[in-house]
């Protein structure tokens, strides 16, 4: 019999909800069958902990006396520039911003030791950061300079707002060239020296709900250790890619835009990451609960690493030059085993997303639900799915007229 989210929440309230992780559900469905499993299990928790570049946070730092209009000026947090094209004291710090004096890749490969993601991590850890700003001064906001220490708790609002997280599947990156390359998928050694992948596979939120049957706008989630929400589909959301028989995408597909109160979060689940030769990014911990509303949904959550495939892509030429084509298709079970076979060669694999931490997140979310600290929410609208006819566009460059 089909259940509703309301019924599941009532069970959570009574302490009677059956909650398991996306790893645990695999054996339950195998032993009991989907029908029985759907009747017995109420919630399956998923998790992921990986670098997600399209992340950032906005802050309202409070007004100064006399007033200053940071908007339209320059504001730095620990020497990392914020976006100031907002109101007087609202700032947005993007995860990939780097310190103004960072040599970047001029000393190749650059270290990118500290950037926007680290500012966010430091703030969440309760540390003071230095806010240094220049403004142009107006009649109503006369002040032109500011140099102060500030903590998260000093701010009015601090909100994590990530335009694209939680990629539903990702490429496996390799290097076919003769020299080492440094990418957002890590260091790739020449001539298929290693293969790096980036997904929690069978624990990954969107691989457990491949057609977005339960996740939508307004879905409450575990975000960075606190609570957050899915607020939109993520940028580059591309549900129309080729899929396997189990409906999971064989290529990178759906994405989520998420949001939550930064003040609730913890540095354990929001970590600045430095990719040598590439830049700074934020590693975000996300867990999404899946309400088991029917048999089809439980079958989806029982997906195993051996049933999930990813494409092996050359990052020395094909990725940068946008040459389509995959070298091979491999399963997450193969990737997690430590090596894959490519062109007759045993290639060691490395993770970019932490399966171990994804598992911890799924477990934490399960506990929170069991302890009545976390209730499921009813999405107010769905995410665009395979029938939405979304075309993934490249930028069509039209040279501006030369003067």
Partner 1 sequence: MTKKRVVLTFPTNQVSQPISYHLVKDYDLMLNILRGNITPNEEGRLVIELSGKKQSLDAGLEYLKGLGIEVESLARDIKWHENKCTHCTACIPTCPTQAMSVDRESMEVSFSKERCIACELCIPVCPFKALEIQF
- Decide whether 11 or 359 has the Cβ nearer to partner 1: 359
Helix (H, G, I), strand (E, B) or coil at 370: helix
Mark the segment that binds partner 1 (CB under 8 A) among 74-82, 330-338, 365-373, 386-394: 330-338
Cβ burial of 23 (10 Å; 0-12, 13-18, 19+) is buried
Interface residue with partner 1, options 111, 145, 147, 378 (CB under 8 A): 111
Interface residue with partner 1, options 194, 214, 233, 377 (CB under 8 A): 194
Interface residue with partner 1, options 227, 336, 385, 386 (CB under 8 A): 336
Mark the segment that binds partner 1 (CB under 8 A) among 25-33, 97-105, 182-190, 232-240: 182-190
Output DSSP code: residue 10.
H
Distance CA 124, CA 264 (A): 8
Is residue 351 a contact point for partner 1 (CB under 8 A)? yes
Interface residue with partner 1, options 310, 353, 368, 374 (CB under 8 A): 353
Is residue 78 a contact point for partner 1 (CB under 8 A)? no
Q: How do strand 43-45 and strand 48-51 relate by DSSP bridges? A: unpaired
Q: Where are the beta strands (DSSP E) in 201-327?
A: 216-217, 220-223, 226-233, 256-261, 270-275, 279-287, 289-291, 309-314
Kindly state the tokens that stand for 39: 């009747």
Distance CA 208, CA 212 (A): 9
- Decide whether 109 or 137 has the Cβ nearer to partner 1: 109
Interface residue with partner 1, options 73, 163, 186, 289 (CB under 8 A): 186
Catalytic residue among 53, 140, 166, 198: 140
Q: Per this entry, what is the length of the chain?
A: 403
Nearest to 95 by CA among 161, 143, 28, 26: 161
Instruction: Identify whether the C-beta of residue 214 lies closer than 8 Å to the C-beta of residue 301.
Output: no
Subset of residues 272 to 311 that bind partner 1, contact rule: CB under 8 A: 273-276, 281, 283
What minimum distance in Å lies between the beta carbon of 102 and partner 1? Answer: 15
Between the two ends of the chain, the Cα-to-Cα distance in Å is 69
Helix (H, G, I), strand (E, B) or coil at 150: strand
Interface residue with partner 1, options 105, 109, 231, 331 (CB under 8 A): 109
Annotation says 140 is catalytic: yes
- Decide whether 41 or 185 has the Cβ nearer to partner 1: 185
Is residue 354 a contact point for partner 1 (CB under 8 A)? yes
Output DSSP code: residue 328.
E
Kindly state the tokens that stand for 59: 């802050």
Mark the segment that binds partner 1 (CB under 8 A) among 85-93, 105-113, 319-327, 394-402: 105-113
Helix (H) or strand (E) holding 36, with range, is helix 24-40
Interface residue with partner 1, options 156, 235, 337, 373 (CB under 8 A): 337
- Decide whether 276 or 331 has the Cβ nearer to partner 1: 276
User: How many Cα neighbours within 13 Å face the side chain of 43?
Assistant: 33
Tell me the site size for partner 1, rule CB under 8 A: 34
Mark the segment that binds partner 1 (CB under 8 A) among 12-20, 128-136, 355-363, 386-394: 355-363
Interface residue with partner 1, options 9, 34, 51, 98 (CB under 8 A): 51
Is the dihedral angle over the CA atoms 160, 161, 163, 168 positive or is it negative?
positive
> How far does CA 270 lie from the centroid of its chain?
10
Interface residue with partner 1, options 45, 49, 232, 364 (CB under 8 A): 49
Mark the segment that binds partner 1 (CB under 8 A) among 84-92, 205-213, 219-227, 331-339: 331-339
C-alpha Rg value of the chain to the nearest Å: 22
Please identify every residue annotated as catalytic: 140
Binding site for partner 1 (CB under 8 A): 49-51, 109, 111, 113, 186-187, 189, 193-196, 271, 273-276, 281, 283, 336-338, 348-357, 359
């Amino acid at each position: 019999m089909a259940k509703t989210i309301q019924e599941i929440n009532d069970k959570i309230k009574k302490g009677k909800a059956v909650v398991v992780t996306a790893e645990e559900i695999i054996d339950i469905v195998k032993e009991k069958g989907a029908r029985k499993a759907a009747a017995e299990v109420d919630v399956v928790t998923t998790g992921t902990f990986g670098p997600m570049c399209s992340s950032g946070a906005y802050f309202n730092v409070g007004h100064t006396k006399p007033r200053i209009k940071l908007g339209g000026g320059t504001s730095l947090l620990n020497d990392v520039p914020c976006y100031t094209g907002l109101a007087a004291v609202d700032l947005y710090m993007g995860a990939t911003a780097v310190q103004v004096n960072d040599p970047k890749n001029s000393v190749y490969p650059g270290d990118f030791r500290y950037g926007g993601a680290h500012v966010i991590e430091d703030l969440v850890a309760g540390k003071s950061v230095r806010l240094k700003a220049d403004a142009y001064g107006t009649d109503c906001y006369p002040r032109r300079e500011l140099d102060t220490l500030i903590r998260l708790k000093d701010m009015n609002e601090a909100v994590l707002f990530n335009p694209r997280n939680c990629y539903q599947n990702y490429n496996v990156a390799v290097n076919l060239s003769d020299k080492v390359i440094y990418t957002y998928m890590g260091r790739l050694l020449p001539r298929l020296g290693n293969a790096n992948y980036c997904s929690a596979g069978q624990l990954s939120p969107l691989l457990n709900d491949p057609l977005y049957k339960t996740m939508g706008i307004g879905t409450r989630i575990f975000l960075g250790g606190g609570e957050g929400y899915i607020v939109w589909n993520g940028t580059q959301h591309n549900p129309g890619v080729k899929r396997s028989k189990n409906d999971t995408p064989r290529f990178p597909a759906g994405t989520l835009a998420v949001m939550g109160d930064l003040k609730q979060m913890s540095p354990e689940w929001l970590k600045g990451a430095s990719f040598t030769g590439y830049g700074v990014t934020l590693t975000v911990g996300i867990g999404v609960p899946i309400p088991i509303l029917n048999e089809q949904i439980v079958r989806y959550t029982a997906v195993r690493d051996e049933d999930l495939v990813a494409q092996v892509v050359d990052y020395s030429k094909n990725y940068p030059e946008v040459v389509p084509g995959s070298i091979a298709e491999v399963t997450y079970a193969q990737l997690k085993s430590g090596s894959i076979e490519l062109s007759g060669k045993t290639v060691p694999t490395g993770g970019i997303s932490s399966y171990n931490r994804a598992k911890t997140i799924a477990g934490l979310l399960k506990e929170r639900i069991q302890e009545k600290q976390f209730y499921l929410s009813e999405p107010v609208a769905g995410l665009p799915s395979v029938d939405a006819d979304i075309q993934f566009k490249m930028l069509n460059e039209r040279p501006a007229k030369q003067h």
